[in-house]
Each structure stands twice: as structure tokens, then as C-alpha cells.
Chain A
Amino acid sequence: MHYFLQDDPCLPARSSLMELLALCERRGLSANELLSGTSLFAADLHKPNARLSPRQLDKVIQRASRINYGDSLPLLLASATLYQQDLPLGKLLLQQKNLGKALACLYFFRQQLQPLVSLSVLCHQGRLSLYFSDSIGLAPLHQFTIEHSISLLLVLFSHYGLDANSCRQQVRIELCRPAPALLHDYRHHWPADIHFMQRHNRLSFPLAFLQQPGSTATTKEVLWLCRLQRHYSPSGMGLLSYSRRFLQRCLPVQPTPEQLANELGLSPAQLKRLLRQHHSHFSQLLDEARQQHALQLMLKPKQSNRQLASELGYSDEHNFRRAFKRWTGLQPSAIKDWFLI
């Protein structure tokens, strides 16, 4: 399997759900209430290879968010996940030599913790930017996973000894969502410069953070356990991120919907229906793929707009400029400022 859909039972329950259930249980919301209507049962979830589908997880999360701490739930869950006693990946992440190694581990084993996050990493002028995009087309779940991943990163930062003040000055978080009524919860859990209502979901921080030293413990056994755990984690990625990656690889030749359908093993009509189910369509995916590709290309030194336009499969420079303005709100020439903020 290379990609999964909203209803495929692909997420391991142990890593994605059990901590959430425990957290809610301590706040007076029982597992049965949380799981009602999802055709999941608390007793089954304890089995080591119990799985659930993204749609089921989405339902559980929406129900959990209805209690009044809705907004800060992903923030609470991040440290609960990382400091979970029986999660080898948590131990592995916390015992690396430096923060850079820990983040590399997180990236390598991300399917175990965050199979639903579609991540692209860009590095420019001494800053690392992580972009999060939707992989499965479920808006509440998408929002939740993004905030959960950002919280995971910030918990790691503080574990590796970065104090809140230097984080507040140097870490920048941009979220597409509107600002919540009370911001203090975010500011308490996220020592960073937070902006809402942005065009992208991204987190950026200085590369120098990666040198932050950690522990000296040996991690061989934990690493081995993590490798074993890979059997339980989903092997593919969400339909949307899989399609986006395929389209990006096709550039500069502009791929057709038929090619994508062929790659996914579907008929064009099936593809169209599936994408509609995932709240997306072909031209939107192509646009997002171009956007990703454009940002990557612009990291290389000195390319004219005409070269970029042809590499992205645009017919002329003008079209490229207009698309770029739509993505970032800036002219292509101002891209440097955009990376530097």
C-alpha cells in the first residue's frame, strides 16, 4: 500500500489514541463517551495491533474538543505522548546527543508519531522552516495534527535546554486558523512568536538550535525497538500528500488527471470522486505541488523568473508571477524577505 484514504484503518491505536483517552479520562470524559458512534471499543484498542481510520480519529478529536479546553488539547497531548513510558520513540527522541539528531530521528520515524502530517522542510539563510500541509482532507483532524506536531517540537526544544525567552525571540509560528478568543493558553505552552490567519502553517527557527547538546546515554536498544515498531506504523501516506508528491515529481511537464489516476491505480472518474470526498480537486493539488516546488527552487541562487516559470510548467512568466503572489502575497523578487521573517 502506498497511500491511504479517510476510511482505511491504518493508524495504530496505541500511539495515536491511547494517551488522548487517558488525558480525557482524567478530565472526566470517559472513553466510552469519547468513542460512541465511531464503532471503536475501548477494550479492543488495548490490543497491540489495533488500528483505526483517520475518519474515526477525526470523530474522537471533535468530540474531545467539545469540552472547554478544546483549543489547548493538542498542546497538552504533546508532552503526554513524548513522556509516555512505553513508547520507545519518545525515549529515543529525548536521549539524543543534540537537538539536530533528535529532529532527524523524529523525521525518520515520523510515521510512528505523526502519520497524518505532510511535511516539507526548507532551509534558507540560517533558518529552518517546516511547512505542514493537509494529507487526508479532514479539517479538524488536520488542525489538530499540526498543533500537536508544533507542540512536540517545542517540547523537544525545551527538553534540550532552550529556555523560553530565547525561543520566544527566535521561533516563529504561523497558522492558517483564526486566533482563539483567549491567547494565553497558546502563549503558555508555546514560547514563540505566534501569528494567526496566515497563508501557510509553518514553524521556523534558527539552524543554530540544532547544535543544542542533549544527553550522553546510549540509544542502541531503543533505536532497535523503534525499528521493530515500524511494522505497526502505516507504510504509506495520505491520498492528498501522495498525489502532491507525484505531481511535484512530474514537473516541469504538466501532468494530466489521467496520469495521476493511472499512478494511483484508479479510473479518472474514481479519482475525481475520491478527491471530492477528500475536499480537494486536481487543479488545487497541482497548484499546491507547484507552490512547494517553487519554494524549493527559489532556495537555489539566482534564477530568473522565466527559468522558474518553465521549471514549474507555466506557459509564461506572467502566470508564474501571479501564482506566486497568490501563494505568498509577495512578488518573486521579495522572496528573501519572506524567508527571513
Chain B
Amino acid sequence: MWRLHQIKLALTSLSLVIGAWLAVWLGQPKPAAIIDWFDVLGEGTTLLVCLGWLLLIVSRRPKSQVTNWLFLGCSLLTFSYLLDVLDEFFRYPEHLRLMSWLESIPAPFGMLALTLGVLGWLKEQRVIERQLQSREQVLREHQWIDPLTQLYSAAYLQALLQREQAAQQQLNLLVLDLKGFSHYNRQHGVAAGDTLLRHLSELSLSLLRPADVLCRFAGDRFVALLPATGTTAAELLALHLKHQLDKHLTTGAAVQLQYAVLPVSPSERIDAIFTRIEQVRFQPSQPSPVTQPA
């Protein structure tokens, strides 16, 4: 990540070096007897923490407006704290005000920039949450995310079902499965199979409604949780999904999407639901009107 911020890093290091050089050039070193080591310790720690923030931002954030504000704030603060530490070791001539300006002016501006950055960050988080809505509902557990498709795994589905059932919600599950997936794997290799799964999950996500949650159950089987949807509406949604996916997946006739709608009642046990998902009978596949020859 840090490679994205090379110019910013170079400018910051340059300004830090210039600041330090000015302090050394203009100031007289203080004798060791009058250095206040408590001050040095306190200001030094502040400087180190600020540097740590800077490094965290550089190593974790992508290139964006928000990153720029955060970075600017942190680097101004770092600059000011560096001079703060240095003036414990150097005494500047009385008539020269430059060093004290350089020390005190950047700090409030840095704070301001940092605040702007954090505000932007919160806004960004809100947008990302909206973007995530089809992948997760109100639960968030990062260890349950399937690393291949970035969807939640069956453990998450279990937790979600428990929650919905506690709320006595009647809901429908849409089970999606790829017919002929193992044959596809055999012919094109497992890497191609993985890519296909990734495409499938991205496409289905874009086709489902914002309130639906799509999970990867196991292998090539996906389960979408459709809250507040009647069985007929769920069937229609599934049919639409199948037509669109058959049109967009570039695998030809080798792999076909099959689906089934499972109504779930609030009193049903979770492991019974899981067994039903495993042994589900899919709708008999009809040739979709899109691929049918005219």
C-alpha cells in the first residue's frame, strides 16, 4: 500500500529534515544539566505516536481524498512535535521568532485537517456499509467471510437464521447450484472453476435486492436469504436470476444454474434446514427463452 503514497512520503520526510536542519543551524545546543528529561520523554512519546499514525495511514489506506486529509493532518502534527522535541536540546536566539512560529502554527492546522479526514472517513464508512448490504445484514463477523467469493459462509447463514427465527419471521431461502460444475473443473482446471464461482457471486449480488443476503453454503452451492418475500415472488426472482445469469456467464451450455425455493417456518430447527438445503430437489431445468433458438 505504501507505494501509492511515495510522493507524499518524500515531501513529508523533506520537510522534517529541513525542520531538523534549521533547528541545528540556528540554535545553540543546551548544556546537559538544564535539559528537562521529563519534557523530552513526554514530547518524544507524542512524536512517536504521531509517527505511528502516519505509518498506519500509509500502510493501510488506499489513495483517496480522505487519506490525503488524514495524511496532511498527521504530517503537520509530526512536524510541529519534532520541533517541540528539538527545542528541548537547542536554544534559539531571542530576536529570531521563526522557530517558535514553525513550532506552533502547524499544530492547529494539522488538528483541523485530521478532523476533516475523520469526518470524511465516517462518511466513507456509511457508503461502504450501504455497498455491503447485500452481503450482510445486521451481523458482522469477519472470520466468517469466505475468502474466495468474499461472501459470508454457512456459519453466518446459521447465525442469521437463528436471529430471524427468534423474531418469528416467515422467510424464503433461495438455493442456487451449478449443474455440471465438477465437470467444468475437470475440463478447465480448478483455477478456472474458482474464477467462475467468483463471477457467479458478483453477478448474483448485483441482481439481488439490497435487503437479500447471499451466502456461500459449500462448494458451488449458494443460499440467498429473502426476507419478507412470498413464495411466488421468490420463484419469480429466482427465474429472473437464472435468465440473467445464463445470459452473462460465459461458460456456454457446460454449466447451468439450477435453483430451488425453500420456505422456512419460524419453528424449524437449524440443522433440519441445513439438511434440507443439502438434499434439495431443484426445479427441472427448462431451456431459458433467451438462449432458445428463434
Contacts and interface: CB of A to CB of B under 8 A. Distances in A.
A27 B148 contact: yes
A317 B217 CA distance: 52
B190 A23 contact: yes
Interface stretch (B76-84, B85-93, B153-161, B239-247): B153-161
Contacts of B277: 184
A23 B185 CA distance: 13
Interface stretch (B14-22, B124-132, B139-147, B227-235): B139-147
B29 interface: no
Contacts of B155: 68, 181-182
A26 B182 contact: no
B218 A68 contact: no
Contacts of A68: 143-147, 153, 155
B219 interface: yes
B191 A188 contact: no
Interface string A80-105: 10011100000000000000000000
A107 interface: no
Interface string B180-192: 0010011001110
A189 B219 contact: yes
Contacts of B153: 68-69
Q: How large is the interface on A (under 10, 10 to 19, 20 to 34, 35 or more residues)?
A: 20 to 34
Contacts of B147: 27-29, 67-69
Interface string A54-74: 000000000000011100100
B59 to A, nearest CB: 15
Interface in A21-63: 22-23, 26-29
B143 A79 contact: no
Contacts of B189: 83-85
Which of A27, A68, A72, A76 has the largest count of B CB atoms less than 10 A from its CB? A68
A235 interface: no
A255 B218 CA distance: 49
A188 B182 contact: no
B218 A185 contact: yes
Interface in B214-231: 217-219, 221
Given A79-B185, A185-B218, A189-B219, A26 B191 contact: yes
Main secondary structure of the interface of B (DSSP, over half): helix
A158 interface: yes
Interface string A126-161: 000000000000000000000000000000001100
Nearest to B148: A27
B190 A184 contact: no
A322 interface: no
B77 to A, nearest CB: 33
Interface string B151-183: 001110010000000000000000000000010
A83 B186 contact: yes
B250 to A, nearest CB: 18
Interface string B262-281: 00000000000010011000
B43 interface: no
A168 to B, nearest CB: 10
Contacts of B145: 68
Nearest to A84: B189
B142 to A, nearest CB: 9
A76 B148 CA distance: 12
30 contacts: A19-B190, A22-B191, A26-B191, A28-B147, A67-B147, A68-B143, A68-B146, A68-B147, A68-B155, A69-B153, A79-B182, A79-B185, A80-B190, A83-B185, A83-B186, A83-B189, A83-B190, A158-B182, A159-B186, A181-B155, A182-B154, A182-B158, A182-B274, A184-B154, A184-B274, A185-B218, A185-B219, A188-B218, A188-B221, A188-B278
Interface of A: 19, 22-23, 26-29, 67-69, 72, 76, 79-80, 83-85, 158-159, 181-182, 184-185, 187-189
Given A69-B146, A79-B185, A184-B274, 16 more contacts: A19-B190, A23-B190, A26-B148, A29-B147, A68-B144, A68-B147, A69-B153, A76-B190, A79-B182, A83-B190, A182-B154, A182-B274, A184-B218, A184-B278, A188-B221, A188-B278
Question: Which 7 interchain pairs have the tightest Cβ spacing?
Answer: A188-B218, A27-B147, A80-B190, A185-B218, A26-B194, A188-B219, A27-B148
